[in-house]
Amino acid sequence: MYPTKKLGEVSINFDTKRIPIKESERKKGKYPYYGASGIVDYIDDYIFDGEYLLIAEDGENLRTRNTPVAFKAKSKFWVNNHAHIIKGNDKALTKYLEYAVNLSDISSYLTGTTMPKLTQANMNRIPVSIPPIEIQHKIVRIIGTVDDKIDLNNQLNKTLEAIAKAIFKEWFIDFGPVRAKAEGRRPFGMDDETAALFPDSFEDSELGPIPKGWKIVELDTIADVLNGFAFKSADYKESGIFVLRTKNFNEQGFANSLQDDVFLSEEKAKEYDSYYVQPFDIHLIMVAASIGKTSITPPCILPALRNQNMWCFRNKSNFPYRHNLNLIVPIVSENLKGFSSGSARDFFRKGDFQKYKITLPTNDLLKKSEKIIRSLYEMIAFNIEENILLTQTRDLLLPKLISGEISLSNNDISTISNETTTHIPPIQQKIYAYTKNEGKINM
C-alpha cells in the first residue's frame, strides 16, 4: 500500500488567476472557456497555456458525479470561478492526480445544502494515495492508453454521425444529386448505380419544388409516436431492467448509462411490456429546457424501459427504414421549435409531429440510403459497446493500481491481464444479435 497525503501537499494551486466573464461580455473565439463541469463556451482570449487539472468548485455534479469532477485542460484556455485549477508538484503527476481525485470519496468535504460546494480549503484536505513518481508514470501510461482508446472511439463516432447526417442532408434536404443531374452534371462522389436512383428534375408541391416522383406525407403515416411511463420511484431497484430517463440523453445523440441509473425488477417490468425500448429507437425530450433534444438507444444498453417526458418515434411496418427515420426526427423537431399556439409553449404535443409533412423519396432510394446509414450507426454502436467494456476495465484496475493492490514495481503486467480477463463484468452484446437478425432482437 502507498502512503496517503492531502491534495494540497502534492499540488500547486492557480485559483487566483481565474477570471469569470459574463455571457453578455464574452467575445466568440477559438479558446475553450471552462466551468465546473467542462467547456461552457469558446472565446477570443486565454489566461492559461499548458496542461492543468480542473476540479469542480460547485454544482450538483459534485454529488451525483455523472461526469468526472476532475478533468484535464490543456493548451490555451480560460477558466471561470466555478472550477479550481491545480497542477501536480514534485511529488505527483498532474494526470495521476486526475485519476486519484476522481476515485476519491469527496462527500464529507462538500458544504451547502441546496447547491454543493467544494471550497479550496476543503479540496486541499482530500486524502490521495501517492505512490513513487515512477509508479505514477506507469499507472498513467496503463490507464491513459485505455482513456486514449475511449477518446478515439468518441471522436470516430462524431465523425461517423457527421457523415450520416451529411449524406442525408445532401440527398433528402438539399436535393444535391437532383440539382446536379438537372444541370447536366454528375452527382459528386456517387457511382452510376446510385446516381440512377435520383430524378433529373423537380416538380411543384405544397411544400415547394421537390424532386420529380417523390411524394409529400405526414409523419404519422410512416412512424408511431409512443409515450413513456411515469414509473414510481418506490419501484426503483439497484439492478434489473434499466429505465431510460431524459438525463441519459448525452450530447453525442446516443443514450448512455450513468452512475445513478435506476432499474425495475424483471418481475415488475413485465407489467410494462409496451414501454420496452428497441434497438436504435430514437427518443425526443418533449418538455422543459432540453425540449427537442434527441437520443438514439444503442443495443448494448438494452433491455430498457422508457420513462416519461419523452416521445419514442418508431417506424411503421410500411416504412422499414428506421435509420432514415432517426435522421428525419431531429430535423422535424428543429423546425417545430419556433412554433407557437397563441403563446409560446415549452412542450411538444403528439399532434405537432404526427401531422408534420415531409418529402419522401422512392423506396429504392430509401433502401439504398438505409443500407449506408445503418452501416454507419452499427459502427457507432460497436464503438459505444467497446467503450463500455474499456470503462469497466479501467474502473476495475484503477483503484487497485492506485492503492498498490496490484504491484507495478516489477512490471507485473501478468497480474493486470488476469484481473481484466477474470473479473470484468460481462457486457451485453446486443449489437451482434441485432446485425445477425436483420435488426430484430428478442428481448
**Among 77, 108, 130, where does a domain finish?**
130
Is 215 in a helix, a strand, or coil? Answer: strand
**Whether the Cβ atoms of residue 79 and residue 34 lie closer than 8 Å to each other:** yes
The answer to whether residue 181 sits within a structural domain is: no
Instruction: Provide the domain limits for residue 208.
Output: 201-361
Domain final residue pick, 81, 97, 130:
130
Strand 241-244 with 28-35, pairing = unpaired
Give the pLDDT score at 259. 73
197's enclosing H/E stretch is none
Q: In this structure, is residue 58 part of a structural domain?
A: yes
* Torsion angle of C-alpha atoms 167, 170, 175, 178, degrees rounded to 10: -70
Residues 95 and 217 occupy one common structural domain: no
- pLDDT of 250 reads 83
26 shares a domain with 116: yes
* pLDDT tens for each residue of 101-114: 999 999 999 998 88
**Residues 215 and 98 occupy one common structural domain:** no
224 lies in the same domain as 99: no
Where the chain has pLDDT below 70, the residues are 338-347, 409-443
Q: Which pLDDT value is given to residue 436?
A: 44
Last residue of a domain, one of 75, 100, 130: 130
In a domain, 284, yes or no: yes
Stretch (H or E) spanning 162: helix 133-168
Nearest C-alpha neighbor of 120 from the set 51, 18, 40? 18
Instruction: Name the one residue in this structure whose C-alpha cell is 438525463.
Output: 247
Strand partners, 287: 347
For residues 226 and 333, membership in a common domain is answered with yes
Identify whether residues 207 and 321 lie together within a single domain: yes
239 and 122 inside one domain = no
Within a domain: 421: no
409-423 pLDDT, tens digit per residue, is 655 544 544 444 444
In a domain, 188, yes or no: no
Alpha carbon distance 169, 174 (integer Å) = 6
One-letter amino acid of 73 = A
Query: Do residues 69 and 117 make contact, with C-beta atoms less than 8 angstroms apart?
Result: no
Asked if residue 206 and residue 323 are part of one domain, the reply reads: yes
The reported pLDDT for the residue numbered 57 is 96
What CATH number does the domain containing 334 carry? 3.90.220.20
Residues 212 and 355 in one domain: yes
**Reduced to 3 states, what is the DSSP secondary structure of residue 282?**
strand
| Torsional sign, CA 63, 264, 154, 422 | positive
- Give me the pLDDT at residue 410, please: 57
For the chain, the domain total comes to: 2
Looking at the domain assignment, is residue 154 inside a domain? no
Cα–Cα dist 379/387, whole Å: 12
pLDDT reported for residue 409: 64
Same domain, 350 and 205: yes
Is residue 223 domain-shared with residue 347, that is, in the same domain?
Answer: yes
Spatial CB neighbours of 61, under 8 Å, sequence gap ≥ 6: 36, 37, 67, 69
Give Cα 413 distance to the centre of its chain. Answer: 32
Asked whether residue 47 is domain-assigned, the answer is yes
Same domain, 236 and 345: yes
Residue 138 falls within a domain, yes or no?
no
